[in-house]
């Protein structure tokens, strides 16, 4: 420790991890894995996402709040949907940078999906960040488009693909200087 070699080793280690993330993102984009479906309470993936990220976000004084909701069930691959939620929460945190709130919630609605209008559960991620400017909004889901120095530009493309593989849709509403809400729209489980 303290030697130039040690500093070089740490740099190489960080770069290997960055490259590994880029390759993994590319592989998920090019060859998405098939979902392993299970019927679960809708708020379970929200709760697990909150537990995974709340401490990390607190360091930037960002509160990760989970609103209580009526019991609803969804048929999903829990790991894949949590991957989408983590991506959306991290994007929200990047938009806030410091001192803000990200709210997770599940709500019931009726929306048109692939097989017509149906009962859905919407898993929402709402932030108090800066919103998405119109020039960025046009390219939001374009693969390899990013506004981040360390991003691959595949996060939202992968997220949208995962949600579509679940028979759902990824939607959003944004207001510049007032925040953004992303919604993962999924068919409500009937079992």
User: Bridge partners of 104?
Assistant: 66, 125
Contact 97, 182 (CB under 8 A): no
Closest by CA position to 106, among listed 76, 75, 79, 66: 66
Burial class (CB within 10 angstroms; exposed 0-12, middle 13-18, buried 19+) of 32: middle
pTM reported for the whole predicted model:
0.81
Alpha helices in 31-133 (DSSP H): 42-58, 78-96
Between strands 100-113 and 62-66, the pairing is parallel
List beta partners, residue 38. 76
Residue 65 pairs with which residues in a beta bridge? 103
Angle at 81 between CA 70 and CA 99, to 5 degrees: 75
Q: Which helix (H) or strand (E) holds 104?
A: strand 100-113
Structural contact between residues 128 and 150, judged by C-beta atoms closer than 8 angstroms: no
DSSP per residue, 140-180: TT-TT--SSSS--S-HHHHHHHHHHHTT-EEEEEEETTTEE
H or E element, residue 6: helix 4-30
Tens digit of pLDDT at every position of the chain (191 positions): 888 898 889 889 888 887 787 777 666 666 667 899 999 999 999 999 999 999 999 999 999 999 999 999 999 999 999 999 999 999 999 999 999 999 999 999 999 888 789 999 999 999 999 999 999 888 887 877 677 766 766 778 889 999 999 999 999 999 998 999 999 999 999 86
């Amino acid at each position: 420790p303290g030697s130039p070699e040690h500093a070089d080793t740490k740099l190489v280690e960080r770069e290997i991890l960055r490259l590994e993330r880029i390759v993994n993102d590319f592989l998920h984009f090019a060859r998405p894995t098939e979902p392993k479906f299970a019927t679960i309470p809708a708020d379970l993936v929200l709760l697990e996402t909150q537990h995974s990220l709340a401490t990390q976000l607190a360091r930037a004084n960002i509160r990760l709040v989970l609103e209580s909701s009526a019991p609803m069930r969804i048929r999903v691959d829990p790991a894949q949907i949590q991957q989408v939620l983590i991506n959306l929460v991290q994007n929200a945190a990047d938009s806030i940078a410091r001192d803000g709130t990200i709210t997770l919630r599940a709500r019931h609605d009726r929306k048109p999906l692939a097989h017509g209008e149906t009962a859905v559960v919407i898993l929402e991620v709402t932030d108090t960040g800066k919103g998405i400017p119109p020039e960025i909004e046009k390219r939001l889901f374009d693969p390899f488009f990013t506004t981040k120095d360390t991003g691959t530009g595949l996060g939202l493309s992968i997220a949208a693909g995962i949600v579509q593989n679940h028979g759902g849709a990824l939607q959003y509403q944004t207001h510049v200087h007032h925040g953004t809400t992303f919604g993962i729209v999924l068919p409500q489980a009937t079992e």
